[in-house]
């Protein structure tokens, strides 16, 4: 009886890990108890006091782990870049650079880096290159195709549209056995892998991944048209079509339209907060538990303690929102947004 349950649990974990690796076009998949755990564990791949070049959202979880945890506990040094052209990347390098970390879609303006240049320069310099694919998901973009060493993500993004427990994942590229061995050691040493019992739920969620994501992306297209034609909206930011930042460079990187949209509405902070408060459907996701039903107001949700003049310098206006296009009835969502704008 003991061996039966042991084999069953091991097989379930192995199957879920392998299926996620397949989605990301990688060789070895690893599941973590949370997205934060995945980020923190992968950062342990580099030696103490190493230097990291990072193309990340300064209000995101990754950035906070970099600055508030690993800079202090591992002596890591970070250089943040806002462009991904070769000159900018090379200028950020130093003799002790061991890692380049990039987000495949960087919030809040949804810029996509020049993934090919990032990976190529990392290889030339002997640095490990890692891509956080949380916002894009492998349905939209597969960074390992651009020769990244590791891709990681928020498991809830894979399960968008479902109420599934929090988890994180990392997938190691083919022929990177040395990184896979290190990651296996870290997962076991830190006790950060996802519990066996949750793997069955993850497996069930992955079965209709393509179908759910297709619905989410279709909804996103309708949301885009709605927002672009709405007089309350000053700008809409899209990773697939917006001609801003590095997005033009990366257009060919996207397999499909992303389910993530950012927009800037008219008015001041009071109007933005009033709009968010009036939402009904999207109000269910303010606690962040449901990745598919989520609207984020960076100025209050991420930078609430930051003075307005500092936020202006970071280009975080009062009316900026980031929206996940869920898989629910699109008419209900559009009606919810319409009534909230009034």
Q: Pick the residue with more confidence: 293 or 95?
A: 95
- 150-154 and 128-132 strand pairing: parallel
The class of domain 2-207 in CATH terms is: alpha beta
Sign of the alpha-carbon dihedral angle for 288, 19, 16, 21? negative
Residues of the chain with CATH 3.90.1150.10: 209-341
- Per-residue pLDDT, averaged over 170-194, amounts to 88
User: Which secondary-structure segment (H or E) carries 240?
Assistant: none
- Model confidence pLDDT, tens digit, residues 249-276: 445 566 677 889 999 999 999 999 999 9
Place 102 in a pLDDT band, splitting at 50, 70 and 90. Answer: very high
> Is the per-residue pLDDT at 2 higher than 80?
no
% of residues, the chain, pLDDT over 70: 87
Q: What is the pLDDT, as a whole number, of residue 322?
A: 94
Return the axis-axis angle of helices 177-190 and 35-43, rounded to nearest 10°. 120
Q: What is the pLDDT, as a whole number, of residue 190?
A: 84
Q: Considering the entire predicted model, what is its pTM?
A: 0.90
Among 27-31, 167-171, 252-256, 324-328, where is mean pLDDT lowest? 252-256
Residues of the chain with CATH 3.40.640.10: 2-207
- Model confidence pLDDT, tens digit, residues 175-184: 888 999 999 8
Whether residue 172 contacts residue 142, with contact meaning beta carbons closer than 8 Å, is answered with: no
Determine the 3-state secondary structure of 206 from DSSP: helix
Distance between start and end Cα atoms, the chain? 62
DSSP result, 181-192: HHHHHHHHHHT-
Place 189 in a pLDDT band, splitting at 50, 70 and 90. Answer: confident
- Model confidence pLDDT, tens digit, residues 263-317: 999 999 999 999 999 998 876 544 444 444 578 999 999 888 888 888 888 899 9
Q: What is the dihedral of CA 224, 225, 226, 232, to 10 degrees?
A: 80
Among 160-174, 206-220, 325-339, where is mean pLDDT lowest? 160-174
What are residue 231's phi and psi, to 5 degrees? -70, -15
> Is the per-residue pLDDT at 9 higher than 50?
no
Q: What is the pLDDT, as a whole number, of residue 257?
A: 74
Place 199 in a pLDDT band, splitting at 50, 70 and 90. Answer: confident
Q: What CATH code would you report for 209-341?
A: 3.90.1150.10
> Is the per-residue pLDDT at 24 higher than 50?
yes
Greatest mean pLDDT range, 3-17, 87-101, 197-211 = 87-101
- Model confidence pLDDT, tens digit, residues 108-166: 999 999 999 999 999 999 999 999 999 999 999 999 999 999 999 999 888 876 666 78
Whether residue 42 contacts residue 65, with contact meaning beta carbons closer than 8 Å, is answered with: no
Determine the 3-state secondary structure of 2 from DSSP: helix
Q: What is the pLDDT, as a whole number, of residue 223?
A: 94
Q: What is the pLDDT, as a whole number, of residue 252?
A: 58
């Amino acid at each position: 009886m003991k061996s039966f349950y042991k084999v069953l649990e091991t097989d379930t974990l192995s199957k879920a890990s392998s299926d996620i690796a397949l989605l990301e076009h990688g060789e070895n998949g690893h599941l973590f108890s949370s997205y934060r755990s995945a980020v923190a564990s992968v950062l342990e791949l580099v030696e103490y006091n190493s230097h990291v070049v990072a193309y990340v959202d300064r209000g995101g979880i990754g950035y906070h782990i970099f600055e508030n945890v690993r800079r202090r506990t591992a002596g890591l040094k970070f250089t943040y870049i806002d462009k991904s052209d070769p000159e900018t990347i090379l200028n950020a390098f130093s003799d002790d650079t061991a890692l380049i970390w990039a987000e495949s879609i960087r919030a809040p303006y949804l810029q996509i880096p020049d993934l090919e240049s990032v990976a190529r320069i990392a290889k030339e310099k002997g640095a490990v290159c890692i891509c956080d694919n949380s916002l894009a998901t492998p349905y939209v973009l597969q960074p390992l195709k651009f020769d990244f060493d590791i891709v990681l993500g928020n498991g809830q993004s894979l399960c968008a549209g479902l109420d599934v427990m929090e988890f994180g994942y990392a997938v190691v590229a083919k022929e990177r056995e040395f990184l896979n061995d290190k990651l296996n050691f870290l997962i076991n040493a830190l006790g950060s892998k996802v519990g066996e019992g949750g793997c069955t739920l993850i497996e069930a969620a992955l079965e209709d991944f393509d179908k759910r994501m297709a619905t989410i992306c279709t909804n996103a297209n309708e949301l885009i048209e709605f927002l672009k034609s709405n007089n309350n909206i000053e700008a809409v930011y899209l990773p697939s079509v917006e001609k801003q930042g590095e997005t033009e460079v990366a257009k060919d990187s996207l397999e499909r339209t992303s389910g993530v949209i950012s927009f800037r509405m008219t008015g001041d902070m009071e109007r933005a907060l009033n709009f968010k408060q009036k939402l009904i459907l999207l109000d269910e996701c303010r606690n962040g538990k449901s990745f598919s039903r989520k609207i984020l107001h960076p100025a209050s949700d991420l930078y609430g303690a930051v003075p307005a003049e500092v936020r202006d310098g970071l280009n975080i206006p009062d009316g900026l929102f980031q929206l996940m296009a869920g898989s629910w009835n699109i008419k209900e969502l559009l009606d919810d947004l319409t009534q909230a704008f009034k």
